[in-house]
Amino acid sequence: LEPANPVFDCVLKGNKGNILKEVDKALAAGEEPGAIINGQLIPAINEVGVLFDKQIYFLPQLISSAQTMQHAIEYLEPMLSKDKDAEPKATIIIATVEGDIHDIGKNLVALMLRNYGYRVLDLGKDVAADIIVDTALKENAQIIGLSALMTTTMMRMKDVVELAKERGCNSKIIVGGAAITQSFADEIGADGYSPDAADCVKLVERLLE
Ligand code: B1M
């Protein structure tokens, strides 16, 4: 378990009322916004996943914790440093695949890519393959980023890869999410896989070289 930490605890307990107060305290103590996200919020929601897995937590707790985390991320987002004058580097379409409503990780990936100067069009969650591919074609996107968190929705990524080929869409397709691995990405013919939001920026930079 993580060391006792009030921000971590608020997410773990789904304490929406106190989270911003605790985030403020951490900021006042000199913690960086990005470090609060990576060092406290993400480990806490992962711990919630473990408790859910063990059936110590059920759906209501899962929902409260997720909302608490999102509350904190929305609050921290404007504080993350951004190079506002830079020209947008490339267009990236991002979405959570059809049937899957998990979007916390996808939102973090979008946030990070925007911070690095990419033009990110976030289509949201539970997005059908044809909407993703059509938007990529219309917007002339260099990259399509797909997120899936469940073994039951992973295969929707393959639908996007196949549809893109079918419709002559040349965007590079990258995939990620808790259930995804490099070998799965290879298997479905995706152009890249990344385990987390920071690594995803490096992957995109590599693919655009
Ligand atoms: Co759900 N859920 N959930 N859930 N949930 C999981 C995924 C699960 C593993 C929990 C478990 O059983 N241990 C399990 C899936 C099991 C499986 O695979 N078959 C599960 C389930 C079963 C469900 C429901 C079916 C529950 C139910 O209704 N009975 C339901 C699904 C509904 C649906 O989608 N149709 C459901 C619902 C929910 C909530 C709505 C309550 C909530 C989501 C809220 C939201 O997203 N707005 C939720 C949550 C919070 C989780 C867990 C606990 C945490 C997910 C999360 O946000 N992690 C999760 C357990 C787990 O994953 N350990 C679980 C934090 C986030 C920062 O990490 O998303 O992995 P992650 O993103 C990372 C990396 O993966 C990567 O970067 C991110 C940042 O570093 N990444 C990418 C992500 N996308 C990327 C894309 C890239 C590159 C990197 O390229 C484009």
- Cα(107) to centroid(ligand 1), Å: 12
- Average pLDDT of the chain is 93
List the residue whose alpha carbon is closest to atom 40 of ligand 1.
63
pLDDT of residue 83: 58
| Contact criterion met (CB below 8 Å) for 202 and 174 | no
Hey, whose CA ends up nearest to atom 73 of ligand 1?
Answer: 105
Instruction: Give per-residue pLDDT as tens, 5-44.
Output: 999 999 999 999 999 999 999 999 999 998 999 899 989 9
| Closest Cα to atom 20 of ligand 1 | 150
What separation in Å is there between the alpha carbon of 86 and the centre of ligand 1?
33
Q: Which atom of ligand 1 is nearest to the CA of 46?
A: 63
pTM value? 0.89
**Strand 172-176 versus strand 192-193 pairing type:** parallel
Half-sphere exposure of 118 (CA within 13 A, CB side): 26
Pocket test for ligand 1, best of 102, 120, 160, 205 (most atoms within 8 A of CB): 102
pLDDT in tens, 67-115: 999 999 999 988 987 656 667 789 999 999 999 999 999 998 998 898 7
- Find the angle CA(82)-CA(196)-CA(141) to the nearest 5 degrees: 65
Name the residue with the closest Cα to ligand 1, atom 25: 150
How close are the terminal C-alpha atoms of the chain, in Å? 40
Separation CA 33–CA 80 (nearest Å): 6
Do the beta carbons of residue 48 and residue 11 sit within 8 Å?
yes
Q: How far is the CA of 84 from the centre of ligand 1 (A)?
A: 31
Q: Quick one: pLDDT band at residue 3, thresholds 50, 70, 90?
A: very low
